[in-house]
C-alpha cells in the first residue's frame, strides 16, 4: 500500500514538472513570436511610411534604404568590447571604408542579411573595406557569470551565420550617437574620411548593400 502511494506521488510529481515545462516553453515561444511580429510590423512602417523616403542624400528609393539624419555627418567615434574581450574603436579603422551593422541574435531579418555581409566583407576587404557588427542583445553587465554566457551565445550565433568580422557587444551604449535605431538590422556606411555616406534600415537586398559599400569606398555613383 505504501509503495503504491509513493508510485502515485511520483507520477503526480512527473506530471507537475511536465506541465510547468510545457507552460514555460509556450510562454517563451509566444514571447519570441511577439518580438518577430513587432519587427515585421515596424519595418514596413519605418521603411514605407516615413516622410521623405526615397528623397535626399543617402537614399535611392529602394525598400530598406532611408534618409537618415546621420547621412552626411562624421561618424561618432566609440570604443566597445568584442566577443573575445578585446577593445575595438572606430578610430582604429581610420582611412578605411566601414560598415557599422547594428544587429541582434533574436533578429530574424539579420539572419538573412548576415551571410551576405560575410561574403561582401571578404570580397571588398582587399580594397580597404571593413565591417563592424554591433550587437544589441541584452547583457547582464552586473553578473559576470551571465555576461560570460550571453557573450558566448552571441559569439556562437555569429559563427553559425558565417561572420568573419569583429562582433562588438553592448550596442545600447552607442545607440544615441547613431539616432537610436529601433529596427534591426540597421547599417551606416562610413567612407575613408569618416563621413556617413549611406544608411539602411531593415532588411534590404544584397545589391543595395554592395552599392552602399561602393559609395563608402568611393567607387560607386
Report the DSSP beta bridge partners of residue 65. Answer: 200
**Across all residues in the chain, what is the average pLDDT?**
80
Amino acid 63: pLDDT: 42
Q: What is the DSSP letter of 74?
A: B
In this structure, the answer to whether residues 111 and 204 fall within a common structural domain is yes
> Considering the entire predicted model, what is its pTM?
0.72
What are the grid coordinates assigned to 26, written together? 509556450
pLDDT digits (tens, 9 = 90+) for 124-134: 999 999 999 99
Higher pLDDT, 56 or 123: 123
Total domain count, the chain? 2
Instruction: Name 207's Cβ contacts closer than 8 Å, sequence gap at least 6.
Output: none
Residue 59: inside a domain: no
In this structure, the answer to whether residues 41 and 83 fall within a common structural domain is no
Classify strands 87-89 and 186-190 as parallel, antiparallel or unpaired.
unpaired
CA distance 67 to 218: 19
**Domain CATH for 97:** 3.40.30.10
Cα–Cα distance list, 121 to 10, 14, 26, 56, 183 (Å): 57, 51, 39, 27, 22
Instruction: Name 49's Cβ contacts closer than 8 Å, sequence gap at least 6.
Output: none
In this structure, the answer to whether residues 36 and 92 fall within a common structural domain is no
Helix (H, G, I), strand (E, B) or coil at 47: helix
pLDDT digits (tens, 9 = 90+) for 49-77: 333 333 233 433 344 445 688 999 999 99
Amino acid at each position: 500500500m505504501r509503495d503504491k502511494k509513493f508510485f502515485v506521488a511520483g507520477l503526480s510529481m512527473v506530471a507537475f514538472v511536465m506541465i510547468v515545462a510545457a507552460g514555460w516553453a509556450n510562454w517563451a515561444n509566444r514571447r519570441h513570436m511577439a518580438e518577430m511580429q513587432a519587427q515585421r510590423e515596424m519595418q514596413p512602417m519605418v521603411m514605407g511610411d516615413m516622410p521623405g523616403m526615397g528623397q535626399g542624400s543617402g537614399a535611392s528609393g529602394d525598400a530598406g534604404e532611408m534618409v537618415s539624419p546621420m547621412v552626411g555627418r562624421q561618424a561618432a567615434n566609440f570604443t566597445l568590447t568584442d566577443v573575445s574581450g578585446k577593445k575595438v574603436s572606430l578610430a582604429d579603422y581610420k582611412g578605411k571604408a566601414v560598415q557599422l551593422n547594428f544587429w541582434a541574435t533574436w533578429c530574424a531579418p539579420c539572419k538573412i542579411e548576415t551571410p551576405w555581409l560575410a561574403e561582401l566583407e571578404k570580397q571588398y576587404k582587399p580594397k580597404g573595406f571593413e565591417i563592424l557588427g554591433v550587437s544589441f542583445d541584452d547583457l547582464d553587465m552586473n553578473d559576470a557569470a551571465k555576461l560570460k554566457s550571453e557573450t558566448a551565445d552571441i559569439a556562437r550565433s555569429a559563427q553559425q551565420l558565417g561572420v568573419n568580422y569583429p562582433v562588438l557587444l553592448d550596442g545600447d551604449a552607442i545607440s544615441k550617437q547613431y539616432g537610436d535605431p529601433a529596427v534591426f538590422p540597421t547599417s551606416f556606411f562610413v567612407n575613408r574620411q569618416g563621413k556617413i555616406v549611406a544608411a539602411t534600415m531593415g532588411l534590404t537586398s544584397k545589391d543595395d548593400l554592395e552599392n552602399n559599400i561602393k559609395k563608402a569606398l568611393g567607387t560607386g555613383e
